[in-house]
C-alpha cells in the first residue's frame, strides 16, 4: 500500500479513518470537509508555485518521483 499525504493526514486525525480510506471506503458526503479539502489543495498548489518562482530550474527539482 502506498501511503499518500491524504492517508497520513487521516491517520493523524483518526487511525480508523485512515484504515477505512485505505480500503477505498468513501464517506457519505460532508460539504464542509469537501470545501476544506479543496481549500487545502488550492493553498498547497499556490504555495508550491510561489516557492518555485523564487529559484532557477537547476536549483529546484520538480516532477514525478
Indicate whether 56 pLDDT > 90: no
Cell of 17: 479513518
pLDDT, one tens digit per residue, over 16-47 is 988 888 888 776 778 898 899 899 999 999 99
pLDDT for 38 equals: 94
Higher pLDDT, 52 or 46: 46
pLDDT for 27 equals: 65
- pTM for the full model? 0.48
Half-sphere CA count of 5, side-chain side, radius 13 A: 4
CA distance 12 to 6: 10
Amino acid at each position: 500500500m502506498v501511503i499518500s499525504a491524504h492517508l497520513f493526514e487521516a491517520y493523524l486525525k483518526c487511525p480508523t479513518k485512515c484504515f477505512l480510506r485505505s480500503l477505498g471506503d468513501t464517506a457519505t458526503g460532508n460539504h464542509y470537509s469537501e470545501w476544506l479539502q479543496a481549500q487545502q489543495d488550492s493553498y498547497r498548489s499556490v504555495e508550491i508555485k510561489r516557492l518555485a518562482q523564487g529559484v532557477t530550474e537547476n536549483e529546484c527539482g520538480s516532477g514525478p518521483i
